[in-house]
Structure formats: structure tokens, C-alpha cells
Amino acid sequence: MPNKNISRARFINNKLLGRKRDVEEKTCIEEDIREIRPLTMQLSTETTQDRQEVVEVCEDLYHLLKHEDIHLLKEFHRMYLDYSFTNNLPPQLKALDASQPWLLYWIGNSLRLMNPKWLSKNYQQGISEKLLNASVNGGPFCGGLGQLPHLICNYAAVTALALCDNYDDCWSKINVHGIYQWLLALKMPNGGFKTCLEVGECDTRGTYCALSVAAMLNILTPELCTGVEEFLIKCQTYEGGFGGCPQEDEAHGGYTYCAVASLAILGRLEVINVGSLMEWCSARQFNEERGFSGRSNKLVDGCYSYWVGGTAAILEAYGYGECIDKPMLRDYILKCCQTKERPGLRDKPGKSPDFYHTNYVMLGLSITEHNFKVQGSVNSIKCAPIKESAEIVPINPVFGLPSEDLEKFVRFYSH
Ligand SMILES: CC(C)=CCC/C(C)=C/CC/C(C)=C/COP(=O)(O)OP(=O)(O)O
Ligand SMILES: [Zn+2]
């Protein structure tokens, strides 16, 4: 028996472990190339056809608008946002009944990003009263009246309140201690956070929503952070971006942003493979469409201007350099995500504008207009305009809020 094993090992060693690799590689490569080239040229799938259509419509727009100096149509978009705060929302938005804090954050943030004064005292009153009425005792916050506290909605509610400039002392009404105890109870043995006490998924979104709220409310304790870094490290995939869960999903812009922003909050960006992350971010940007896709072989979408652009801005802020083309992204945003026909910003040509895309495309626009540099703490990221006239106010790319609002909110809880 031992003899048989030795001869088997010798066989593997001689035939399979590279002795003849040089010779084989030379013959294989040429044959492979001959076989692969026509394959890639002929491969036409639903995915490649969809992309071709998007490329054509974007290229038409770039051609049509090539001599125009396009700007963000701020007053036009303001009308869309104002209308939503002063009228009933259309019936199809019933589907977002469990995401009411999100609507308040998206709409409120979009107004404030264009002009801080456009989120009037009246609106700040409406936002804070609605949130504090829906969730008893000032949090943890839920998606709407009578619903269970939810980690993702809690993040949206806290960021929406951060936009309210402490209207009627609403910041004192946030139940910081209750939120802290609840966050601890959501912690999972693998270092992640589940979204609800009763039942809920666990992925990098939850980590970001827990950590960013904790950082803003000054409750980011070592106990809350135990095991979080290890959880996040395991979410980076061979592609360089991050999936939602350890060793499970493909890399995706949204989950990548959540992981990278969380690591920035922990002050631990250096524990991941930043080089492959930067290559992945860079590979998300298409030459033809000029905007980003969220994952390999998927279509361009305006919201990734923030999920991927924000990730790049965080890396830039921490001194890793730039890995995206900001002027190209700006073109996609202003020429393909905006039209003169309908206010609000959209995913891509052919899609309708919505509040989610309006907010994240505007945040992406801010990224194209600024350079980022951290100043001591994650709460204080300096945002220097690239040209003298920026259309969007400076933002903190870790929190998705105007820098001024974030800094004032954090200062409130710092003592
Ligand atoms: C703070 C917080 C909760 C952030 C969430 C970030 C996140 C996960 C964003 C992703 C949103 C999105 C466009 C998903 C679509 O996936 P898809 O499969 O329809 O789109 P694709 O084709 O572009 O991949
Ligand atoms: Zn989108």
C-alpha cells in the first residue's frame, strides 16, 4: 500500500504538478486565443443586448448635448421635492409604507444638498414630528406607525433628524440610551447585526446602519464594535469589492459602500485589500456610458454614483488617491440622469425619476465637484471644491449628509 501511494505521488508530481507546464502553456495559449476570440465576438445574450441599448442611448445624448454647458436644474428639481412635502404621495408609493424615514431622508437631503435654506423650518418641523410620533420614546425608530424598530429605518430616521438643525430641540428627544441597548441586542455571533430583534437579515448594510448611528450619537463603544472588523474583512471578494455577507455574495456597489464606510468609522481601512478595492471601483466605470455599474456585467445606474463614488471618495479622503474619473461621472449625471422634461434625477435614460435616485445622484454630483481629505476624525472630512462654483454643498462621504449638518449633529452629542 505505501508503495502504491509513493508511486501515485510521483505520478502526480511528474505529470500534473508543472514539470511539463512550460511546454503545455505555449501550445495551449495560442489554441485558446484562437478559440476564445470568436467566442467573445459572437457572444450575444440578453445582458449584452441590454447594455448595447443603454450605450446607444447614452452616446446619442452625449452627441446631442456636446456643445451645451449643462448644469443641475436646481429650481426644477426643487419643485418635485417641494411638491412631495406639500401633497399626498402617489398611490404607488404605498409600497414604501415601511420606509417612511427613508422618504424623509431622501427628499430632505436632496433639498439641503442643493441649498440648505430649501429645507425650511416648516419642513424640519414636519420631519421631526412625523419621526418622533411614529416611534414611541424617541427610538429605536421603525418604518412607520405601529411597525417594529428596524435597523435600516433607524439609520434613515436618525440621518433625517440630523437635517433638522435641532428644530424644537428634537435632537434631545432621541433616545440615545435606548438605541444603544437595542443595537447591542442586534449583534450576532459572527460580528454582524440583524435588522430586527424578532427576525431580520444580517449583512453589511446592517453594520453600516449600526455603526454610523452609533458614531453620530457618540455611542460607538468597544463592546458594540467587537468582531465587526472580522465580519467585514470576510465580505471582501476575489473581485476587490464587498458582498453583503462573509464568503457568500458577489461584490456589489451598495454593500461595498456600507463595508468601506463602516471600516472608515472603525478607523481600520488598512485591514482590507485597498488596492484590489480601488481596481474594482475603477472597473465599475464604463468608458461609453461614463457612469458606474453596481457589479460585473450589470448596467450603469445613477445611484452607484454615490455607492461606488462614495467608496472612492472615502479612499481618497484617507490618502489612497483617486480611482474614478470625476468629470466623466459628472457627464453621466448631468446628461443621462437629468432631463428638461421631468424634474428629479433617474437611474438611466428611459427610467422615471424617483426620490432615491434624486438623493444619491446628487450626492454623487457633490463627489465629482470636491476633493476629500480627512482631518483627524471621520466626522471631519474636508471637502474642497475642485472648481470655484459647486452646484452641491460639501458632503461627508461616510455619512451621506452635508458636512455642516453632520458636524453640528455630532457636536450636539459629543458632551
Ligand atoms: C445605507 C444603506 C442601507 C445602503 C444600502 C446600499 C445598497 C445595498 C444599495 C443597493 C441598492 C440597489 C440599486 C440594489 C439593486 O440591486 P439590483 O440587483 O436590482 O441592481 P444591479 O442590477 O445594479 O445589481
Ligand atoms: Zn439605482
Ligand nearest to the Cα of 357, by number: 2
Instruction: Grade residue 27 by pLDDT with cuts at 50, 70 and 90.
Output: low
pLDDT of residue 244: 97
Maximal C-alpha separation, the chain: 86
Domain boundaries, the chain: 4-64, 74-413
pTM here is: 0.91
Distance from C-alpha of 311 to C-alpha of 290, rounded to nearest angstrom: 17
* All three cell numbers of 57: 442611448
Pocket test for ligand 1, best of 153, 252, 345 (most atoms within 8 A of CB): 252
Active site residue 354: yes
What number does CATH give the domain 74-413?
A: 1.50.10.20
pLDDT of residue 21: 41
Cα angle 377, 204, 50; round to 5: 115
Name the DSSP class of 117: G
Instruction: Grade residue 368 by pLDDT with cuts at 50, 70 and 90.
Output: very high
Is the distance from the beta carbon of residue 205 to the nearest atom of ligand 1 less than 6 Å? yes
What are the phi and psi torsion angles at 381 (to 5°)? Answer: -105, 120
User: What is the average per-residue pLDDT within 96-109?
Assistant: 97
Is the distance from the beta carbon of residue 372 to the nearest atom of ligand 1 less than 6 Å? no
Instruction: Grade residue 16 by pLDDT with cuts at 50, 70 and 90.
Output: very low
* All three cell numbers of 271: 485591514
- pLDDT above 50 (res 18): no
Q: Which of 174, 163, 168 is nearest to 108 (CA)?
A: 163
pLDDT of residue 1: 43
Name the DSSP class of 173: G
Cell numbers 430632505: residue: 108
pLDDT of residue 229: 98
108 C-beta neighbours (distance < 10 Å), count: 27
Q: Quote the ipTM score.
A: 0.98
Percent of the chain with pLDDT over 70: 90
pLDDT of residue 225: 98
pLDDT digits (tens, 9 = 90+) for 53-70: 999 999 999 999 999 999
Q: What residues are paired with 375 via a beta bridge?
A: 377
pLDDT of residue 40: 58
- pLDDT above 80 (res 178): yes
pLDDT of residue 247: 86
56 C-beta neighbours (distance < 10 Å), count: 12
Distance from C-alpha of 399 to C-alpha of 406, rounded to nearest angstrom: 8
Active site residue 245: no
Instruction: Grade residue 43 by pLDDT with cuts at 50, 70 and 90.
Output: confident
